């Protein structure tokens, strides 16, 4: 019996879900991932964009009268809070990355795509790893992190795999300017040097592909690099060009 004959509608549904491609948007802090995500959202109803759960990190329910801002705590005292923050941000991301796609994607005629702002992979290979290099996550904490991270990613298997990555690339100086302009309170102390480190991590992972990755599938994921140094939020020509490149990329993966 084929899967469909065996499981009827459920089999059909699994088949439809498996047809959906899964892509993450990666890039430095403030490079413009959310702006780009909005652009994709408006470009096709066959693309679903899942936002990053930042607000959850800013309001952790501690059952006290006021919620705790873990993002702020992490920036103010990384030595104390980096591991806790990285655990929580990755857990909240797991939840969003595992969300079932909306019905309309299952019925899409063209290529249905679920797009995520960042992934459990950048959590580990960009941010957590950077905190290890900075000495804010200890070797014991890093061993524990890698252990549960590998276990969870392997347990969820295909549901967390990506078919593609879009890398929004811009010089750290530009990201630093954009970061200042948007003025998120918690990020006021973020220095250019920090963004330079994150930039190098992105380049090693997505351009030179020299970061040591634990996951075989991740080593082979196709990457589309887009030049995000232009102010694309205001430029409809660049937006059209981006959409064209993204459409071709989605069709090729």
Question: Is position 212 annotated as part of the catalytic site?
Answer: no
Residue with tokens 């969870």: 152
The least CB distance from residue 93 to ligand DCP, in Å, is 8
The least CB distance from residue 13 to ligand DCP, in Å, is 31
For ligand DCP, which is the closer residue by CB, 50 or 106?
50
Residue with tokens 């593609």: 164
**Site residues for ligand DCP per CB under 6 A:** 27, 29-34, 52, 54, 71, 86, 89, 118, 123, 127, 187
For ligand DCP, which is the closer residue by CB, 58 or 111?
58
Nearest to 86 by CA among 145, 27, 21, 22: 145
Query: Bridge partners of 223?
Result: 165
β-sheet with 223-227: strand ranges across: 47-50, 113-117, 21-27, 164-169, 223-227
Instruction: Considering the candidates 26, 48, 52, 117, report the single residue annotated as catalytic.
Output: 117
The least CB distance from residue 173 to ligand DCP, in Å, is 15
Residue with tokens 């010089």: 171
Helix (H) or strand (E) holding 177: helix 172-182
For ligand DCP, which is the closer residue by CB, 108 or 195?
195
Q: Which residues are catalytic?
A: 117
């Amino acid at each position: 019996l084929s899967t469909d004959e065996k499981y009827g509608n459920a089999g059909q549904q699994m088949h439809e879900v498996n047809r959906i491609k899964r892509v993450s948007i990666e890039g430095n802090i403030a490079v413009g991932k959310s702006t780009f995500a909005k652009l994709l959202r408006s470009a096709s109803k066959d693309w679903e964009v899942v936002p990053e759960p930042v607000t959850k990190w800013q309001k952790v329910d501690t059952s006290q009268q006021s919620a705790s801002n873990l993002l702020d705590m992490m920036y103010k005292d990384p030595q104390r809070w980096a591991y806790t923050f990285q655990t929580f941000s990755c857990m909240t991301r797991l939840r969003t990355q595992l969300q079932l796609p909306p019905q309309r994607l299952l019925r899409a005629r063209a290529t249905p795509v679920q797009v995520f702002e960042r992934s459990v992979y950048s959590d580990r290979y960009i941010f957590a790893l950077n905190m290890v290099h900075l000495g804010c996550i200890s070797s014991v904490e890093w061993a524990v992190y890698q252990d549960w991270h590998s276990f969870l990613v392997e347990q969820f298997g295909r549901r967390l795999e990506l078919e593609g990555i879009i890398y929004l690339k811009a010089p750290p100086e530009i990201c630093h300017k954009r970061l200042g302009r948007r003025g998120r309170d918690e990020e006021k102390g973020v220095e250019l040097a920090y963004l330079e480190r994150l930039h190098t991590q992105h380049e090693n992972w997505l351009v030179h592909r020299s970061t040591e990755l634990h996951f075989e599938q991740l080593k082979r994921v196709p990457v589309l690099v887009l030049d995000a140094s232009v102010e694309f939020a205001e430029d409809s020509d660049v937006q059209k060009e981006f959409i064209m490149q993204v459409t071709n990329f989605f069709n090729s993966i």
